[in-house]
Structure 1
Amino acid sequence: MKISATAEDTFLQQVFAKYNFSKEDGALLADTLVDADLRGISSHGIQRLAWYLNMIKEHIIEPTNKPIILKESATSLLIDANQNMGHIASALAMRKLIEKTKKSSVSIAVIRNSNHFGTAGYYSRMAAEAGLIGVSNTNTRPLVVPTNAKDAFLGSNAFAFTFPAEPHPFVFDGATSVVSGGKIQVLAKQGGKIPGEWAIDRDRNIVKDANAAEDILSKVALTEEQPGGGVLTLGGNEEENSNYKGFGNSLVVELLTGILAQGSISADTNTGKHDFSQFFLTIDPSFFGDIEVLKANVESMFERIRNLDKLPGTQIMIPGDREYKRYDENKAHGVSIDETTAGQLKDIATELNVTAPTAL
């Protein structure tokens, strides 16, 4: 079904208020989920709500805790998310980095003791909207099987990069694995088949049934038991297709997040503290040249790429083009919610005595 973005935002803010998030934090959390749905990234939108609420009930997430700045310099930050939602500490980090980078040209933040933070691109776009380059990384629950291994060890370990441009900033936002776990979660809710080579079983056979793949990922994420199998690294199942490069990308993010934050590595986030870590970098491109000239050069390069000779019936799109197109369409016509998620929203509304969003 389709619901309006405004109705989704109102519902989410009501739900987060019931779980004792401050008005400011609840508004931020709602905005991140609505933003993901508007951009067609349903894997990180409202379909995550029931998962978040379960973690609150299990005290993995503590809504009244506030992030703590542990160390700060003119160009760096170390933040303890204090076991609250990763979105809250991440937005704080990016706001502080924007201030610092306007003065110093480059700044870095690391967050420890955090949780899932939604889409990495949300925070990098904050930097781009301030005229800065933004980089956002996070580790996650163990989902990804290294090259030639049988067991999941790494997270999907998102990487987002933004660069100021016109008519909108350049945004690359993606997992360092073939897909994020959330995409398999959405397909499982829809009862669909996996279209590509995304997941494997314990013998590295490709899994096409989304429910079977989600069952593998759930067992890895929620228990200490290692059932074998998981999501593939970029490059797919075979070493001949250079999947060790995707493995390497995931490791880089792991080093910048769990290791640098002195938190859990992805492999250990399903036990003990259940903590994630995040890394952010902002750069002021105007240090290197006139910002309007840089923007013009970026757009010129993108237009040359879009206009390259292409296969009949296809379109060449720059990363971010599709999401901005969906954003405008979904703002006007509503965001799509799968039936399973719609049912979960009704159950949440009944439990909390709030009104669930209705279909357009």
Structure 2
Amino acid sequence: MRIESSSEKSFLEQVFTKTGFSSADSELLADTLTDADLRGISSHGIQRLAWYLNMVKEGTIVPQNKVKVLKETPTSLFVDANQNMGQIASAFAMRKLIEKTKKSVVSIAVIRNSNHFGTAGYYSRMAAKAGLIGVSNTNTRPLVVPTNATEAFLGSNAFAFTFPAEPHPFVFDGATSVVSSGKIQVLDKNKKDIPGEWAVDKDRKIVKNAKAAEDILSTAAFTPRQKGGGVLTLGGLFENNSNYKGMGNSLVVELLTGILAQGSISADTSVGKHDFSQFFLTIDPSFFGDLDVLRKNATDMFNRIRHLDHTPGTEIKIPGDREYKNYAENTKNGVTIDDQTAKDLARVGGELGVEVPKEL
């Protein structure tokens, strides 16, 4: 089914407010989820709502807690998310970094004691709107099997990078694993098989059934030695396809997040204290040259790539192309909600007395 994005956002704002979040935080949370759905990243959209609300009920997320600044300099920021949603601390940190970077060229922030923060690209695009380069990282629960391993240890550990360009910023936003777990969740909800080599079982054999893979992921984080299996790193199943590079990328994110924040590494987020960590970097490219010239040069490079000879029936896309195209189409036609998520929304709306978005 399709629903209007404005209805989705209004519904989410009301749900989060009734769950105990402030009106400003509710508006932000609703915007991050709706933005993901508009961009076609349904794995990080409204389908996450039931999961978030369960964590609130369990006390993993505490809506009333406020962000704390632990340390700050003109070019750096160390933040405690205080066990609230990752989106709240992350948007706070990025807003502060944008201010700092306008004065100092480069700024970094680290967040500890956080939770899932939605799409990494959301925060990097905040930097891009200000004419800056933006980098966003997070660790996650343990879902990913390292090279040659049979049990999950690493997180999907998202990495996002933006650079000013036309007609939209360059936006690379992706997991350091083959996929994020949310994509498997969406396939499971839609009763579809996994189209690629994404997940493995305890014997490191490829799993194609999305429900079976989701079952592995739901237990791997808590009892890895009992169940085994997980999502593959970038590069896939075998070393000869350089999957150790994907593992290396994931470890870089672990070092910048859990280790630098002195919080939990991904492997430990589900067996003790549940705390994710985030890392952000912003750079003012205008220090190196006129921003309009840099933007034009980047745009020219991307256009040359888009128009390279390519195989019939295909299209060469630059990171961000698909998402901005989806954004325009879904703003006009509405966002797509799977049947299981629609049922979840009806249940949540009924429990909280919030009118559920109507199908277009």
Output the TM-score relative to the length of structure 2.
0.99
Match of 2:13 in 1: 13
Q: Work out whether residues 224 and 270 of structure 1, in 8 Å CA contact, stay in contact via their aligned partners in 2.
A: no
User: Is the Cα contact below 8 Å between 1:220 and 1:270 reproduced in 2?
Assistant: no
Residue 309 of structure 1 corresponds to: 309
Alignment of 1:235-246 (within 5 A): 235-246=235-246
The superposition leaves residues 30-70 of structure 1 with CA deviations (integer Å, 9 ceiling, x where unpaired) of 00000000000000000000000000000000000011000
Q: Distance in 2 between matches of 1:274 and 1:57?
A: 14
Other-structure match for 1:167 = 167
Tell me what 1:234 maps to: 234
Which amino acid letter does the alignment assign opposite residue 89 of structure 2? A
Question: Size of the alignment, in residue pairs?
Answer: 360
What is the CA–CA distance in structure 1 between the aligned matches of 2:217 and 2:36, rounded to whole Å?
22
2-structure distance, mates of 1:225, 1:237: 20
Q: Paired residue for 1:335?
A: 335
1:74 is aligned to 2:79: no
Counterpart-to-counterpart distance in 2, 1:105 and 1:226: 49
Distance 2:104 2:167 in 1: 27
Tell me how far apart the structure 2 counterparts of residues 224 and 297 of structure 1 sit (CA, whole Å): 48
8 Å contact from structure 2 (residues 151, 225) kept in 1: no
Would you say the 8 A contact 1:63–1:84 is kept in 2? yes
Distance 1:227 1:134 in 2: 38
Q: Which runs of 5+ in 1 are unaligned?
A: none
Separation in 1, partners of 2:5, 2:225: 39
Q: Distance in 2 between matches of 1:120 and 1:74?
A: 24
2:152–2:224 CA contact under 8 A, matched in 1: no
Q: Which residue of 1 aligns with 2:294?
A: 294
Equivalent in the alignment of 1:106: 106
Q: Quote how far apart the aligned CAs of 1:119 are.
A: 0.0
Does the 8 Å CA contact 1:151/1:226 hold for their aligned counterparts?
no
Deviation at 1:221, TM superposition (A): 3.0
**Corresponding residue for residue 261 of structure 2:** 261
1:82 aligned counterpart, secondary structure: coil
Which residue of structure 2 lines up, in the alignment, with residue 54 of structure 1? 54
Q: What code does the residue aligned with 2:120 have?
A: A
Query: For residues 62-98 of structure 1, what are the alpha-carbon distances to aligned partners after superposition, in whole Å with 9 as ceiling and x for unaligned?
Result: 0000110000001000000000000000000000000
The answer to whether the Cα contact below 8 Å between 2:159 and 2:175 also exists between their aligned partners in 1 is yes
Amino acid at match of 2:175: A
Query: Among the aligned pairs, what percent are the same residue?
Result: 75
Whole-angstrom distance in 1 between the partners of 2:219 and 2:64: 29
Is the CA contact 1:198–1:236 (under 8 Å) kept in the aligned structure 2? yes
Note the 1:174-253 alignment, pairs <5 A: 174-222=174-222, 226-253=226-253
Distance 1:277 1:305, change over 3 A: same
CA distance in structure 1 between the partners assigned to 2:244 and 2:149 by the alignment: 11
Q: Is the 8 A contact 2:221 2:267 kept in 1?
A: no
Structure 2: gaps (5+ residues)? none
Q: CA RMSD in A?
A: 0.8
1:323 aligns with: 323
* Pairing of 1:13-162 with structure 2 (within 5 A): 13-162=13-162
Helix, strand or coil at the partner of 2:261: coil
